Amino acid sequence: MKLLTLNTHSWQESDQLQKLDIIAQAIIDQDCDVIALQEVNQHHLSATISDRRCSHYPVHSDNYGYLLQQRLAELGHDYQLTWDFVHQSYEVYQEGLAFLSRLPIIEHQVIDLNDNYDDTNWKHRRAVRIKVAYQQQELDFYNCHCGWWNDEQGSFADHLNRITATLSPRLSFLLGDFNNPSHIRDQGYDYTLQCHLFDCYTMAETKDTGTTVVKNIDGWQQNSQSLRLDYIFSNQPVSVITHQVIFNGDFYDVVSDHFGVITNVSIITK
Q: What is the CATH classification number for the domain harbouring 234? A: 3.60.10.10
Q: What is the pLDDT of residue 269?
A: 72
Tens digit of each residue's pLDDT (9 = 90 or more) over 55-81: 678 999 999 999 999 999 999 999 999
Tens digit of each residue's pLDDT (9 = 90 or more) over 22-62: 999 999 999 999 999 999 999 999 999 865 556 678 999 99
Q: Which domain holds residue 88?
A: 2-266
Reduce the secondary structure of the chain to three states and give it as a string.
CEEEEEECCCCCCCCHHHHHHHHHHHHHHCCCCEEEEEEEEEECCCCEEEEEEECCEEEECCCHHHHHHHHHHHCCCCCEEEEEEEEEECCCEEEEEEEEECCCEEEEEEEECCCCCCCCCCCCCEEEEEEEEECCEEEEEEEEECCCCCCCCCCHHHHHHHHHCCCCCCCEEEEEECCCCCCCCCCHHHHHHHCCCEEHHHHEEEECCCCCECCCECCECCCCCCECCEEEEECCCCEEEEEEEECCCCCCCCCCCCCEEEEEEECCCC
Q: What is the pLDDT of residue 191?
A: 98
Q: What is the pLDDT of residue 52?
A: 56
Judge if pTM exceeds 0.85: yes
Number of other residues whose CB lies within 10 A of the CB of residue 245:
23
The count of structural domains within the chain is 1
Tens digit of each residue's pLDDT (9 = 90 or more) over 167-206: 999 999 999 999 999 999 999 999 999 999 999 999 999 9
Q: What is the mean pLDDT of residues 138-156?
A: 94
Q: What is the mean pLDDT of residues 244-253?
A: 97
Q: How far apart are CA 54 and CA 99, in angstroms?
A: 10
What does each C-alpha distance from 109 to 3, 155, 163 come to in angstroms? 19, 21, 11
Q: By mean pLDDT, which of 209-218, 233-242, 249-258 is the weakest?
A: 209-218
Q: What is the pLDDT of residue 54?
A: 61
pLDDT band at 257 (very low <50, low <70, confident <90, very high): very high
